[in-house]
Structure 1
Amino acid sequence: MFDDAAPAAARPGADAPLAERLRPRTLDEVIGQAHLLAPGKPLRVAFESGRPHSMILWGPPGVGKTTLARLLAGIANAEFIVIAAVLGGVKDIREAVDRAQAARAAGRRSIVFVDEVHRFNKAQQDAFLPHVEAGLFTFVGATTENPSFEVNSALLSRATVHVLHPLSPDELAQLLERARTALDAPPLSDAARERLIAYADGDARRLLNAVENLVHSAGKVAVLDEAMLETALGELLRRYDKGGEVFYDTISALHKAVRGSDPDAALYWLVRMLDGGVDPRYVARRLLRMASEDIGLADPRALRLSLDAAEVYERLGSPEGELALAEAVVYLAMAPKSNAVYHAWNEARDFVRRDGTRPVPLRLRNAPTRLMKDLDYGRGYRYAHDEPDGVAAGERYLPDGMPDVEFYRPVARGLEIRIAERLAELRARNAGARGDG
């Protein structure tokens, strides 16, 4: 029977970290994840049923994965067995099975919670399968990584994936007030509150640790202000402004330095971003955008090199992998620039939005069945490989009745010089074959 008032565990003592003291003991105390916990939503239904299903909780740090698993065990009156995958192995899995069997003998259900389940290898993950199948315990895994890649398909097929989101600024503000009350702390200035929420970046644990540090450092004061916050967090606060105005200004400066072919400025802004605590993976994604938007076909190698840099970072991590990002930044800055494809793409999208839905000409349609052939699908299509120079000169590949368009206009830089020459030759041949020249 569902009982939202059933505690998952006794409240920890005053010496415990604030994040542990404020860990929700009931579902109504949980802040955030309304898409899963509001009435009628998937996890709320699982709680209310009293018979929870096996699941994977996927989300960034500090969003409540462990808390929800504990609450689930408390409400279901189940034995709560925790395995930390970063330290655990098959021995821990066997011990968990033994505890679950003992609980079953005593008439209790069990929930086995595996924190950072993505750190278990395939064999370790497979060890859970027969026991999940037999119903010995409910499996709950927590991961910050995409389960599609990090959890093997057999285990994934037996568990429902629930995606947890970072806490919103409003939710963090609510948690901040709860923390201030628990610490009997003075109010915060508006600037300090905004800095704290930006610093937390959706992570409840990060926020609570910061608030606790601030209150203990400030002592007895009337208001907790921004200066006290900087003193309490110091380097950590300076280094992490993700999501704030400075963050977006800095990525803008990096992008413009690359576009402006200034490798020194681009390296400076890259270091500023990494020093500021920005996730290098985010930087890698931005480099891919720059390669596509600002370099394009003037140097197609730029996109490949950016992808390689992203992969190198994934393999090496920080700080070694950051050198690959620096190499990509310098290459992008020095590469010839073209936004011709970027403009062509936007123009084509705008045209399609404004234009009606034109039918595909019969000659361009595929004809895999006899009926389609009888309906003239594919009739009259000219196979380019059988034409002189591999070009069906004069053929039209746009819908019938649609005016000719020229979305793509190469620039006179890099490889696009040769592309422009080839495109001009093809357009002249087509015009001549159609009698337009």
Structure 2
Amino acid sequence: MKKTNTQQTEVTRRNFLKGATVVAGAAAVGFPSILHAQANITLNAAIIGLGGRGSGAGNNFLNAAQAAGVQAKIVATADIFPGKARDLQDKWGVPENQRFSGFDSYVKAMSVPGVNYVILAEPPGFRPIHFKTAIEMGKHVFTEKPVATDAPGCRIMYAAYEMAKQKGLKVAAGTQRRHQAGYIETIKRLQDGAIGDIVTLRAYWVNGGPIWHRGVKAGVSPLEVQINNWYHYIWLSGDHICEQHVHNLDVCNWIMNSHPVRCWGMGARQQLGDKAGEIWDNFAVEYEYANGTRMYSYCGQIKRAWASVSEAVHGTLGTSNPSGSISTKDGQRWRSSLRLQSNDPYTQEHIDLINAIVKGTELNEAKNVTDSTLTAIMGREAAYSGGEVKWDDILNNEFKYGPDALYTDVSKMQWGEFRTLKPPMPSQHNILAKPAQVSVA
């Protein structure tokens, strides 16, 4: 990605004005909607996971289809718990006999005749096997992020990505910044050398106070407690460095068109107190890419005076906020003016997926989001262990945070199979030392 000194050119006012002219044209013309002659397809969606993101993604999908001029329906839903989001399913018009619950509900929903669009919004620990199943069944997929919580899950994702390519299936991920106009245009300029060689990157998700917790109800099984509070368990969420900070890490990987090769980190469980769970609430990780560029990552769900959800890039010729602005050392300033079909990136990611399906254009973001998920996992394990973690070591690691069924056929899981599920606390293990696997007593 780096340019040599002989290839490198100064960013001048002429270059900026030339770029601005092109962008102005793009902004005026806009991105065309799907041609009506091509829009005779009906998209029938199955939503897997009916929590806040699944409910939101369902509405985003319907809004996107309307914007793109394509007929679309939500025809099936699945959630581990019965009765979830009933009012919303009524509004969507999902038939009662196509609302499924239980560990096998995802298979039943995907098997409904006519389903050709699957939205994955269940807790991340279930995502690899759900994604693999959707691809095996020949469905186009929108998957929320992150897409795994450990290396075995990531390897399932990488294999399913290759399968999707072979089948010509389209995949979009919930890393919505890749569908946001300012990021798209700015990162293209950065990759074209607008600020010279990239020297360092910074990534922040330092936001508000502790994350939600639904508490522990008397008489409820340990497994149900953990799934109800999925964010607080590593096997289900990957810890908040994966669940949320993956957005910022993905932007940095996108800019570098690569992933880090090693990292070091630290963190703590500082303000979660005695709430049931095992995750930490702050991480600080230093990553290194293959060309020596460093990325400094900070994330926390803790109360503090300073907060930021952002990224920053420093180059030999200037700096950038990759969401839409560039400043060069010679005093030039540039801001993105690009506009897409939707001002809402959560809707735009579905518009882009629908366009790819109907037009037959290329779109498969499974590898990108898996790379960024594994980047977060690598940083998490560096903080947990206190040691240096290398990409190849974590990629090939065999340690599973979840029960074995999570990586083979979760549809066969039953509530009665589990009396106690006790993942190891981060302070009690070093993943690279290959500790004993999670056991189900």
Give the TM-score of the pair, scaled to structure 2.
Answer: 0.27
Q: Report the TM-score when normalising by structure 1.
A: 0.27
Q: Which has the higher helix share?
A: 1
Which structure shows the higher strand fraction? 2
Which is greater in Rg? 1
